[in-house]
Amino acid sequence: MPAATGLYNSDLSLIKLSIIVPCFNEADGLNAFFTRLELTLDNLQGYRYEIICIDDGSRDNTLEILCLHAARNHHIEILELSRNFGKEAALTAGIDAARGEAIIPLDADLQHPPELIHDMIKEWENGSDVVLARRRSRKTDRLTKRLITQFFYQLHNQISECEIPENVGDFRLMDRRVVDAVKCLPERKRFMKGLFAWVGFRQSIVEFDIEPRKSGKSSFSTRRLWALGLDGIASFSTVPLTVSTYAGLIVALLSLVYGSWIIIKTLAFGADVPGYASLLTAVLFLGGIQILGIGILGGYIGRIYNESKQRPVYIIRQRYSRGVENS
């Protein structure tokens, strides 16, 4: 259980909280974001904090604005990635750099209210290792996003070894030991929500109302969301492989029954004019099942191929503290 120090000390071991902020094209909203976040953190008596912002290959002037804020507030550190690696990789970079005893990933678009950090810390002080922020509703999400998320959460939780709690995203407080456990997981394709759930630990929940995005637009298109859902399932379940085996088995059994029926019918009533329709249906159906099975196999083999390359999850172009480049 954490003990508040209350003193400012340049010794980094006294840092209590690491806030991790992945940023991709967030320039317009950053001023409002820092105002609200800093107000919340300054009200936290007895805690020191660091804010690690990851510029995930933004194409607007996110990096310049981050540097301006870092020059003003020396708690802000910036990691500039060499290109856009995606939110999961940006979060991984932040988690690797964090030195706090508690780590909180936070979106830069103010959809996650920073004020909730107070409630999270209370739960942490009461002994929880993970404090999940659960949104009360998904009303700010567009319809396609809601449908895809619901579909994947349900499917994932039915067929995976560990359950991802519904309506819970990356916004959560994690104790240092949870973060160290997540860092030990070696996979390159990092579906963070799944990894966080997989490590377990003592969890508690605080609820919040998700706010609409303050500026800019969501970078998760329907296609990207679908790909993330597939990654989540393939990273934590091999059930689709088993399903294709069973589907093959069922189709084979059915064709055996159908074949026996045709033999009996021919013996009993003589030869019939063979129908194209039933033949074609059987051929197409079997072909479909085979292609589906090969597709599922291909999906997993592709992931094994990607993992076996052992490429780094992200590449840092430059680190900045106090708004200037670190040597």
Instruction: Figure out which of the listed residues 25, 62, 92, 111 binds Mg ion, where binding follows CB under 5 A.
Output: 111
Binding to ligand UDP (CB under 6 A): which residues in 89-118? 90, 107-109, 111
Report in angstroms how near the CB of residue 23 gets to ligand UDP at its nearest: 5
Binding to ligand UDP (CB under 6 A): which residues in 202-241? 218-220
Q: In Å, how far from its chain's centre is CA 72?
A: 31
Closest alpha carbon to 325 in 92, 81, 79, 97? 79
Paired strand residues for 79: 54, 319
Instruction: Figure out which of the listed residues 38, 80, 101, 109 binds Mg ion, where binding follows CB under 5 A.
Output: 109
Tokens of 180: 């160290």
Is 86 a binding residue for ligand UDP by CB under 6 A? The answer is yes
108 contact, one of Mg ion, ligand UDP, none, CB 5-8 Å limit per kind: ligand UDP
Report in angstroms how near the CB of residue 26 gets to ligand UDP at its nearest: 5
Nearest 10 degrees: Cα torsion 99, 100, 101, 104: -120
Q: In Å, how far from its chain's centre is CA 212?
A: 20
Instruction: Figure out which of the listed residues 24, 49, 152, 320 binds ligand UDP, where binding follows CB under 6 A.
Output: 24
User: CA 314 to CA 65: how far, in whole Å?
Assistant: 22
Is 56 a binding residue for ligand UDP by CB under 6 A? The answer is yes
Report in angstroms how near the CB of residue 177 gets to ligand UDP at its nearest: 25
DSSP 141-176: S-HHHHHHHHHHHHHHHHHSSSPPPTTEEEEEEEEH
Closest alpha carbon to 111 in 31, 215, 206? 215
56 contact, one of Mg ion, ligand UDP, none, CB 5-8 Å limit per kind: ligand UDP
DSSP 245-306: HHHHHHHHHHHHHHHHHHHHHHHHH---PPPHHHHHHHHHHHHHHHHHHHHHHHHHHHHHHH
Q: Would you tell me the crossing angle of helices 192-199 and 87-97 to the nearest 10 degrees? A: 50
**Cβ nearer to ligand UDP, comparing 24 with 34:** 24
Size of the site for Mg ion (CB under 5 A): 3
**Cβ nearer to ligand UDP, comparing 111 with 244:** 111
Report in angstroms how near the CB of residue 325 gets to ligand UDP at its nearest: 21
Tokens of 236: 């934590």
Is 23 a binding residue for ligand UDP by CB under 6 A? The answer is yes
Report in angstroms how near the CB of residue 219 gets to Mg ion at its nearest: 8
- Quickly tell me which residue has 């609200």 as its tokens: 36
Q: Would you tell me the crossing angle of helices 30-42 and 116-125 to the nearest 10 degrees? A: 40
Contact pattern from residue 239 through residue 258 relative to ligand UDP, giving x for each residue in contact according to CB under 6 A and a dash for the rest:
--------------------
Instruction: Figure out which of the listed residues 20, 22, 93, 171 binds ligand UDP, where binding follows CB under 6 A.
Output: 22
Question: Residues in the site for ligand UDP, rule: CB under 6 A?
Answer: 22-24, 26, 56, 84, 86-87, 90, 107-109, 111, 218-220
Interface residues toward Mg ion, by CB under 5 A: 107, 109, 111
